[in-house]
Structure 1
Amino acid sequence: MTTSQPRVEPVVPPYPPELQAIFDRVMPPGVPPLSLFTTLARVPRVYERFRAGSLLDRGPLSLRHREIVIDRTCARCGCAYEWGVHVAFFAQRVALTPEQVRSTLRGDAADPTWSAEERLLIRLVDELHDSASITDGLWKELTAAFCLEQVFEAIALVGFYHTVSFFANGVKLAPEPFASPCPRRDVRAPGPFEAHGHATRTRGAPRLRRGASERAGGLGGPFEAPMLW
């Protein structure tokens, strides 16, 4: 399989001190910055605005719910790059089963693998992606199951990860070495996923430094990471 070449060369180390400080804040200790970040850093104004609106901190949604929204959004956008990063780092930590990971790509809200609340999140992503709107029926169900802060957070995540997908696909980012491969037969949008060469995993995701103070949405054990990408 031929992998497309990235359209933009990233910044390379050694990074200026102020940029290194930014990378240190958003990456776990000992993990190099993602190529998404080093590529966006080529245009400091855009990278600054990207970081300012990124929702990379822990918000009102559980980490599991957050990851379901992100994985589904990236899958619907055909963004193999970001889908692979999130599945590699977070799927096990939030107890997503292999069936659920596949469902983010090829399934839908009716899949029995999801809980009632999780089905609502899948429906939210799909409605926003397909129509840029939310039906009255879904809104009523969402606000009955989640508080307003959580609903707004989910909507914002869908929007932000469309932006991430547009950048990753638009500049043809190569997959990270640790990224989870996309099962090709399950690809919802075969063009972008195949183009980025997600065929095999070269090595596991970098290990996050673990601590006792935080848990991944109550699932998967404690871990510490400055940001959630």
Structure 2
Amino acid sequence: MSHSTPRIAPLTPPYPPEIQAQFDRIMRGAAPLILFRVMAGHRRAWDKFRAGGLLDPGPLSLRQREIVIDRTCALNRCEYEWGVHVAVFAGPAKLAEDEVRATVQGDATSPCWSPAEQALVAAVDALHHRATFSDQEFAELSAHYDEAQILEIMLLCGFYRAVSYLANGLRLPLEEKAARFPV
């Protein structure tokens, strides 16, 4: 669902120098996302939001990280953030079209996923629906991922659920160059 005006107005240029510097570091020359512009208008929220970022190199591969983020955003019906991540990271993460589609329309049994990725998608689904894992789900996840990776998976799910709340609750208009949910 696309809206033209967010419920909280985003900052407009020119940005204060400190905010501009932060946007430059995050966006690497691209225009700042609407979500960032809304959050940056409220210092505490912006500082907390940036502190929770998990896009730095961590214990998961880029592909694993993006599967978690894309699936989490899709489950939360957050086309805004899903679309930004697919547009920016699907190529570098080597996510094929059927895999991108499966983050929205598939599940852990989709044939495009490897056994490790099936465990990953099942974990995202379990956290989304029940906020926990069954013993079997945790065992399957542990068969493919170490403790640091499992913690990262859980943190990513939680952070991107919060991002979904923000984007959906603020009714952010979809970014122009972002992907759209498959039909």
Does the TM-score normalized on the shorter chain lie above 0.5? yes
Structure-1 residue corresponding to 2:13 = 13
Which residue number in structure 1 is paired with residue 44 of structure 2? 45
Identity across matched positions, percent: 51
* Letter in structure 1 aligned against 2:21: A
Superposed, 1:25-104 pairs within 5 Å as: 25-28=25-28, 30-104=29-103
3-state SS in 1 of match to 2:180: coil
Deviations 1:61-94 (A, max 9, x none): 0000000000000000000000000111111111
- Which whole-Å deviations, capped at 9, do the CAs of 1:158-178 have from their partners, x for residues lacking one? 000000000000000001110
TM-score (norm 1): 0.77
| Cα offset, 1:6, TM superposition | 1.4
CA RMSD of superposed structures (Å)? 1.3
Runs of 4 or more off by more than 6 Å in structure 1?
none
SS of residue matched to 1:145: coil
Higher helix share: 2
Deviation at 1:137, TM superposition (A): 0.6
Q: Partners of 2:142 and 2:178 in 1: how far apart?
A: 34
- Alpha-carbon deviation of 1:4? 5.0
Worse-superposed segment, 14-23 or 1-10: 1-10
Partner in structure 1 of residue 179 of structure 2: 180
Structure 2 residue aligned with 1:194: none
- C-alpha distance in 2, partners of 1:27/1:3? 23
> 1:207 matched to which residue of 2?
none
Aligned residues: 183
**1:162-217 CA deviation, whole Å, 9 max, x = no partner?**
00000000000001110012223xxxxxxxxxxxxxxxxxxxxxxxxxxxxxxxxx
Separation in 2 of the partners of 1:129 and 1:106? 15
The answer to whether the 8 A contact 2:2-2:172 is kept is no
In structure 1, the residue matched to 2:125 is: 126
Unaligned runs of 5+ in 2: none
User: What is the distance in 2 between the residues matched to 1:32 and 1:92?
Assistant: 20
Provide TM-score, normalisation by structure 2: 0.96
Counterpart Cα distance in 2 of 1:149 and 1:64: 16
Contact 2:70 2:103 in 1 (8 A): yes
Q: Which consecutive unaligned segments of at least 5 residues does structure 1 have?
A: 185-229
Q: Deviations over 1:97-127 (max 9, x none)?
A: 1111111001010111100111111001100
Letter in 1 for 2:57: R
**Residue 3 of structure 2 contacts residue 171 of structure 2 at CA under 8 Å; is this kept in 1?**
no
